[in-house]
Amino acid sequence: MGRRMQPIRNLDIIEDFKELLKQWELRNWLLFCVGISTGLRISDILPLRVRDVSGKYIELTEKKTKKYRKIIINKRLRSYFDHYLSEYDWLGPDDLLFKSQMGDFPISDVQAWRILKKIANELGLDDVGTHTMRKSFAYHFYQRTKDIGTLQEILNHSTPRMTMIYIGLVQENIDRAIMDFEM
Active site positions, annotated:
41, 64, 131, 134, 157, 166
| Helical segments of 10-130, H only | 11-24, 26-38, 42-45, 75-87, 109-122
Instruction: Convert the pLDDT of each residue in 161-179 to its tens digit.
Output: 999 889 888 777 788 778 8
pLDDT at 1: 35
pTM of model > 0.85: yes
Instruction: Convert the pLDDT of each residue in 76-117 to its tens digit.
Output: 999 999 999 999 999 999 999 999 988 899 999 999 999 999
pLDDT at 103: 86
pLDDT at 26: 97
Domains of the chain: 11-130 (1.10.443.10)
pLDDT at 3: 56
Neighbours of 36 (CB within 10 A): 24
Are 160 and 149 in contact, with CB atoms under 8 Å apart? yes
User: Is residue 2 pLDDT above 60, yes or no?
Assistant: no
User: Is residue 67 pLDDT above 80, yes or no?
Assistant: yes
Which amino acid, residue 69? Answer: R
Q: Who's near 139: CB < 8 A, 6+ residues apart?
A: 7, 9, 167, 168
Q: How far apart are the first and last CA of the chain?
A: 30
pLDDT at 92: 97
d(CA 138, CA 90): 34
Reduced to 3 states (helix: H, G, I; strand: E, B; else coil), residue 9 is coil
Counting Cβ atoms within 10 Å, is residue 93 exposed (0-12), middle (13-18) or buried (19+)? exposed
Instruction: Convert the pLDDT of each residue in 112-163 to its tens digit.
Output: 999 999 999 999 999 999 999 999 999 999 999 999 999 999 999 999 999 9
Are 53 and 11 in contact, with CB atoms under 8 Å apart? no
